[in-house]
Structure 1
Amino acid sequence: MQISHLGHSCVLIETYGQRVLIDPGDFSTAWRGLTDLDAVLVTHQHADHADPVWLPRLLDANPQALVAVESSVVEIVELPERTRRLGPGESIDLGSLTIETIGGQHAVIHRDYPRIGNVGFVFRAESEPSVLHPGDCLDAVAEDIDIALIPAFGPWSATKETIEFARAVGAPRGFLIHDGLLNERGLGLIDKHLTALSPTRLVDVRDTRPWAV
């Protein structure tokens, strides 16, 4: 398996010949122009996870790709008819790779904002590490996760909540996502606390090169 962090919450997972892109949003550009994708997944409707301008162009360039998004994304972004709407508790079969959806709601930004949908994705393949991408939901926790993609910062998070999420998942390895609003000092601070207070060993994959796991 190879995992590439393409900026903010955008991640490319490659395993058993499958190339799956998650959350191509407008806080990153490294995913633009990708081809030969087998699936494009979106956790929720916010533009930093589903770029309303460039995502349709990406899908036009990958007409063979399965498109599966949290159900409300289709109301915000122009998507092809083949798009599958997702809720929690569903499964996507890509042959040797299975993707399960968990969670259901985006983390609370403020009590005055209505909560929107959010599905986390759990990737499992025989003889490969399991991977969790939670989107923006710190309640999206699954068992037996080997690699956790941990949201570092957002208007809906606090460091103590990030630590508790990492502890609840309990993955031995992982890396920070949702980091587009952090400078080097902020990233260093989150890294320090997670390393000290959770079981997860963090890997720095911000150069977008594939991490072989």
Structure 2
Amino acid sequence: MEVTKLEHACQVLREGDARLVLDPGGFTRSVDATGVVAVVVTHEHPDHVTPDQVRRILDANPDAVVIGPEGVRAALADADIAVDVVTDGDHRTVGPFSLDFHGTRHQLIHSSVPIVDNTGVLVDGRLFHPGDSYTDPGVPVELLAAPVGAPWLKVAEMMDYVAALAPTRAFPIHEATLSDVGYQAHTARLREAVEPHGSLVVLRPGESLTF
């Protein structure tokens, strides 16, 4: 399997000719991909999903399904985009991809900011994308898409989360709110949390990793 990291939280996974798009939001380039069998969205915030991004993918891949928690369904309803609603403990098989969903809530930003639905996805029991959360899928993680910058993220908590999951490999995501200097600093701390038990692979937007 291959994962290509795009800007911020968006990733495109490829298995043979089939592709799975994760979190195509407004901080990401226009996602142009063929062979897409599903779009998985962890939560409704626009840096993770926009109607325009999803419609662009569906226009090119009319048989693709959109999967996400209830908040995503509500966010895309006005655009007449159907969503297969999932929550913690649900499972879906789409094309060659096996999807297990974990978690229910977005990490706290501030007491004044409503907490929205957030459901992370474990793909083929190997790659875990937690969305905006510190969700533990409860199984060994081979490859973790690890958020490194966000209004809700504290570096100490991020390091504790990654150290507890102990993934075999990780790569940083969710970096659009950071300057280049901040990204380097946060990624260095992520590396410290990963390397006692695994390795960190830094992917710039457009770069891919085969695993």
TM-score (norm 1): 0.90
Map 1:195-210 onto structure 2 (within 5 A).
195-198=191-194, 199-210=197-208
1:146 is the counterpart of 2:142: yes
Partner of 1:99: 99
CA separation in 1, counterparts of 2:107 and 2:189?
A: 21
CA separation in 2, counterparts of 1:17 and 1:53?
A: 24
Unaligned runs of 5+ in 1: none
TM-superposition CA deviations, 1:13-35 (whole Å, max 9, x none): 1125431000000001152x222
Unaligned runs of 5+ in 2: none
> In the alignment, residue 195 of structure 1 is paired with which amino acid?
R
CA separation in 2, counterparts of 1:18 and 1:141?
A: 25
Q: CA deviation at 1:176?
A: 0.6
Given that 1:3 and 1:13 are in contact with CA atoms closer than 8 Å, whether structure 2 keeps it comes out as yes
> In the alignment, residue 209 of structure 1 is paired with which amino acid?
E
Q: CA deviation at 1:210?
A: 2.3
Q: What's the C-alpha RMSD, in Å, of the aligned pairs?
A: 1.7
Partner of 1:113: 113
Partner of 1:60: 59
CA separation in 2, counterparts of 1:18 and 1:153?
A: 30
Gap change, CA 1:192 and 1:21, over 3 Å in 2 = same
Gap change, CA 1:30 and 1:204, over 3 Å in 2 = farther
Map 1:71-90 onto structure 2 (within 5 A).
71-77=70-76, 78-81=79-82, 83-90=83-90
TM-superposition CA deviations, 1:41-96 (whole Å, max 9, x none): 10000000011333223222211112112111122222434x20111110011354
The 10-residue stretch of structure 1 (45-54 or 201-210) with the greater mean CA deviation from structure 2: 201-210
> In the alignment, residue 42 of structure 1 is paired with which amino acid?
V
The 10-residue stretch of structure 1 (92-101 or 178-187) with the greater mean CA deviation from structure 2: 92-101
Does the residue aligned with 1:40 lie in a helix, a strand or coil?
Answer: strand
Partner of 2:158: 162
Give aligned-pair identity as a percent: 27
Given that 1:170 and 1:200 are in contact with CA atoms closer than 8 Å, whether structure 2 keeps it comes out as yes
TM-score (norm 2): 0.91
